[in-house]
Amino acid sequence: MARPLVSRFIAGDSLEAALPVVRELVQDRYVSLDHLGEFTTDDSIVRDAVTLYTDVLDKLADDGIADRVELSVKLSSLGSALTRDAFPATLAAAQEICAAADAAGTCVTVDMEGAGTTDLTLSVVRELRRDFPKTGLVLQAHLRRTESDCREIANSGTRVRLCKGAYQHPADAVYSTREEVRESFRRCLSILVSSDTYPMVATHDPRLIDFAAGLAARTKCGRGDFEYQMFYGIRPAEQVRLAAEGAKVRVYVPFGTEWYPYFMRRLAEHPSNLFFLLRGEGPA
């Protein structure tokens, strides 16, 4: 029943379906391409995922657009549910993808996931950045710890996607109201903008977009020193407007058959998101 709605926000079931979307978007924006899938425990599926990402990179390079398309990778798609025991195999698979991305002229951003995975994800990213310093990470403003994480990485030169966060965490680990999350986002972004990180402002919230623009102006942060990120199919007119004004805008483009967890996660935290999705405006 959800499929007709989902098709507005998922670029397709296959790479062949997603590539025309990507080619169109990179005319005036940038893309973060995500093959949907997570919590993989089957080694053959992990190998399939690595092979698919290398195929993606080959096609992007052949099209001459790899420099405008990064990969967004969930570590749980490269092993088990992010346990210490799975660390070596997950890291090895991620290194293989990062090496292929580097050879194609682009890079990888490692997604942050659910409860209990933050420290392990940060550890993997630190290891990846030894050989692939352009590897990015994601921090979630709804977590109480994130302001401290921002301070810890402030002088590392890391690419950091700051989002509100959609994964479930224990109640005492997160801010409980929308305004608390917004305030956390503002504090975290202020730290990132004043450091040598490269902030990626991942939000559809008009208040936070305006805050980011004002913060950049006050700190003399140039348009090439940060970027906005939004989901494919959500607030496309705002994406075009920002890009036309000279801002760097990257569109998060998911594709693949495992769309259900992705779609439901966008609704589970805030059921009112369905209203915004239907309007194509995105959550506030």
Domain ranges of the chain: 3-277
Check whether 134 is labelled as a binding-site residue.
no
pLDDT of residue 223: 73
In the chain, the amino acid numbered 88 is P
Check whether 248 is labelled as a binding-site residue.
no
Check whether 222 is labelled as a binding-site residue.
no
- Sorted by sequence, the CB contacts under 8 Å of residue 206 that are 6+ apart come out as 238, 284
pTM beyond 0.85: yes
Class of domain 3-277: alpha beta
Angle at 112 between CA 279 and CA 239, to 5 degrees: 35
Check whether 223 is labelled as a binding-site residue.
no
What is the spatial distance between Cα 102 and Cα 79, in angstroms, rounded to a whole number? 22
What is the spatial distance between Cα 134 and Cα 98, in angstroms, rounded to a whole number? 9
Quick check: is 218 catalytic?
A: no
pLDDT of residue 229: 98
For the chain, residues with pLDDT lower than 70 are 1-5, 38-41, 80-86, 115, 259-284
- Sorted by sequence, the CB contacts under 8 Å of residue 265 that are 6+ apart come out as 166, 167
pLDDT of residue 4: 62
Lookup: tokens for 141: 């403003």
Angle at 221 between CA 220 and CA 227, to 5 degrees: 155
Go through 152-176 and write b for each residue having 16 or more CB atoms within 10 A of its CB, e for each that does not.
ebbebebbbbbbbbbbebeeeebbe
Check whether 59 is labelled as a binding-site residue.
no
pLDDT digits (tens, 9 = 90+) for 205-242: 999 999 999 999 998 787 779 999 999 988 999 999 99
What is the spatial distance between Cα 146 and Cα 134, in angstroms, rounded to a whole number? 21
Check whether 203 is labelled as a binding-site residue.
yes
What is the spatial distance between Cα 86 and Cα 75, in angstroms, rounded to a whole number? 10
Tell me which of 29, 34, 68, 111 is the catalytic residue.
111
What is the spatial distance between Cα 113 and Cα 273, in angstroms, rounded to a whole number? 20
Quick check: is 111 catalytic?
A: yes
Tell me which of 68, 129, 159, 161 is the catalytic residue.
161
Check whether 140 is labelled as a binding-site residue.
yes
Check whether 166 is labelled as a binding-site residue.
yes
